[in-house]
Chain A
Amino acid sequence: MAATATTDATTTFDKKTWMGGVEPMNASYGKLMMWFFLISDTFTFSALLVTYGLIRFSYPAWDPAIHGEVFQFSNLYWPIPEKVYNSVPFFHGVDLPLVFVGLMTFILIFSSVTMVLAVEAGHRRDRADVEKYMLWTILGGLTFLGSQAWEWSHFIHGTDQGTIIRELVGGEWIQRTIFGANLIENQYGPPAFADLFFFITGFHGTHVLSGVVLNILIFYRTATGLYDRRGHYEMVEKVGLYWHFVDLVWVFVFTFFYLV
């Protein structure tokens, strides 16, 4: 499409097409590469979430008729997310299902908004506004990471009562109480449930962490005037794409891990 440039009368060899003067798909090289990196990252996250779906469907769900009227944690069936994620910092012992994870979702969506505001300020080449919104975005990212650290810590240490499990050791059935979850045992349900929790939220958290590092870099380069000297704020847009992607992944993790 770009080869039919009208700038050159002799269309035998359009130098611009092959010397980097033309942007395929009307997007700069950097933005295009970010998009294709993100699509490959989409596949990685999809593979993890699809694995979650496969393993979840291969386990029985809690059925009041078989497992008792009151829901209890057991490694025999998949837990109900509302019963697992029901704690909020400073409200010990209060049953607040999904409140904390909902708060985390709002924090991440909000930091996505401040990021897009930073991109918009970059279009206007308004350095102070870019700095302001980048700082808000970094703050949102750090708050999210802190919340996730608390969530993991709670998940690992478990509830006050723990869960009594029966297991076959050396030909004998023994009973013991386990607290919290790790990669081998899990008080909330089958061990695979905890494995998937650590892997998926951990992988997402790693993305948030690298996003925060990139945001700090962008903030630093904005504050030292690099993009003003360069004449455009496209780096803010590229890192913005990555940051929105992290938010997007969380939307899916939130639905498939916590809601469904």
Chain B
Amino acid sequence: MAGHHNPEFDNHSGTDVTPPQTAIIWRTFWILAGITALEFLIAFTMPANTLRIAIFCGMTIVKAFYIVGEFMHLKHEVKSLIWSILLPCIFVVWLLVALLVEGGSIFGLR
């Protein structure tokens, strides 16, 4: 699909026609598709336990890395922008852990 670009195509500006640079985009797509397919495989072959949850979380973070890093181009931005997006997310992780513990203790009290 990446190679369907028409070489004699006119880009309306009348200037140089640069060829599409889509190799990295398709590589990222195949990585994302592969991880999702692997997630399905694990969902049906592995018994539900803490290890499986950890694997799913890890794979989700890898997918998030590729979407944010390549598709949203954050990987190629300046460091200060990268950190101002990433650092606030640490608080989200903290909130997640804190409230999961809280949920567990509500379960214990019921």
Query: Which residues from chain A sit less than 8 Å from chain B, CB to CB?
Result: 25-27, 32, 35, 39, 42-43, 46-47, 49-51, 53-60, 80, 82, 97-98, 102, 105-106, 109-110, 112-113, 115-117, 120-121, 124-129, 225, 228, 240-241, 244-245, 247-248, 251-252, 255, 259-260
Q: Is the CB of A60 within 8 A of B107?
A: yes
Q: For the complex, is B11 an interface residue (Cβ under 8 Å from A)?
A: yes
Given known pairs A105-B36, A251-B60, A252-B64, the reply for A42 and B89 (CB within 8 Å) is: yes
Nearest CB on A from B45, distance (A): 12
Which residues on B sit within 8 Å (CB–CB) of A35?
Answer: 81, 85
Q: Is the CB of A248 within 8 A of B104?
A: no
Report how far A32 CA is from B82 CA in the complex, Å: 11
Given known pairs A53-B96, A54-B103, A252-B60, the reply for A125 and B11 (CB within 8 Å) is: yes
Q: For the complex, is B8 an interface residue (Cβ under 8 Å from A)?
A: no
Q: Is the CB of A126 within 8 A of B11?
A: yes
Q: Which of the four size classes fits the interface of chain B? A: 35 or more
Which residues on B sit within 8 Å (CB–CB) of A127?
Answer: 11-12
Q: Is the CB of B71 within 8 A of A244?
A: yes
Which residues on B sit within 8 Å (CB–CB) of A80?
Answer: 48
Which residues on A sit within 8 Å (CB–CB) of B80?
Answer: 25
B68, B78, B106: the one contacting A26 at CB < 8 Å is: B78
Nearest CB on B from A146, distance (A): 20
Given known pairs A26-B77, A124-B11, the reply for A255 and B60 (CB within 8 Å) is: yes
Which residues on A sit within 8 Å (CB–CB) of B13?
Answer: 125, 228
Report how far A53 CA is from B92 CA in the complex, Å: 13
Report how far A105 CA is from B67 CA in the complex, Å: 13
A102, A129, A240, A255: the one contacting B56 at CB < 8 Å is: A255
Report how far A120 CA is from B81 CA in the complex, Å: 21
Which residues on B sit within 8 Å (CB–CB) of A98?
Answer: 40, 43
Given known pairs A56-B103, A244-B71, the reply for A259 and B77 (CB within 8 Å) is: no
5 pairs from A and B in contact (CB 8 Å cutoff): A25-B84, A46-B92, A46-B95, A127-B12, A129-B20
Given known pairs A57-B103, A124-B11, the reply for A112 and B95 (CB within 8 Å) is: no
Nearest CB on A from B87, distance (A): 10
Report how far A117 CA is from B26 CA in the complex, Å: 9
B36, B53, B67, B88: the one contacting A39 at CB < 8 Å is: B88
